[in-house]
Amino acid sequence: MNELNGYDFEDLEVGMSATFAKTITEADIVLFAAASGDNNAVHINEEFAQTTMFKGRIAHGMLSASVISAAIAGRLPGPGTVYLGQNLRFKAPVRPGDTVHATVSVKELNAQKRRVELNTVCTVRGKVVIDGDAVVMPTSRSVAVAPGDR
């Protein structure tokens, strides 16, 4: 592992995994609503949210999914990684105060394109709340990839 750039492509192996955890706070939800413009009442209005199937406020799905990005950028492959794509399936709500554990696992390596396919799963108290997969381009000790090859 390169301390400044995380794992280079050449260091990765299928099956490697890492986890990052974050507690979703009231401030996170309010700031995400302001930054994204997503002011859906199910996220910001408890009285309204009580009338929904969730019976209370829930965090934005994309806020919860952003913990995956933190796992990729900070853990595996780590700093310097370029995010190319992400598929998400939302399975259960995340509520204010929940701690989201995002685990990323190397599923496939494409040496020709220097791409990594990752399984991505978020859990709260052991329950899957989001699952999906991502494609990323980590750093490499070999020649740089031209922008048109991304």
Q: Which of 85, 75, 73 is nearest to 132 (CA)?
A: 85
CATH number of the domain where residue 130 is located: 3.10.129.10
The model's confidence at residue 146, banded by pLDDT at 50, 70 and 90, is: low
* pLDDT the model gives residue 41: 98
The model's confidence at residue 12, banded by pLDDT at 50, 70 and 90, is: very high
3 domain-assigned: no
Residue 143 reports pLDDT greater than 80:
no
144 domain-assigned: yes
pLDDT average, residue stretch 14-38: 98
Domain count, the chain: 1
* pLDDT the model gives residue 6: 82
Residue 145 reports pLDDT greater than 70:
no
2 domain-assigned: no
Please tell me the total number of residues recorded for the chain in this structure. Answer: 150
DSSP-assigned beta bridge partners for residue 127: 124
Q: Residue 82 is part of which domain span?
A: 9-149
139 domain-assigned: yes
Half-sphere exposure of 132 (CA within 13 A, CB side): 21
Alpha-carbon distance of 103 to 67, in angstroms, equals 9
pLDDT average, residue stretch 55-71: 98
76 domain-assigned: yes
Alpha-carbon distance of 11 to 40, in angstroms, equals 43
pLDDT average, residue stretch 14-22: 97
92 domain-assigned: yes
1 domain-assigned: no
106 domain-assigned: yes
* pLDDT the model gives residue 141: 87
E strand or H helix that includes residue 26: helix 26-36
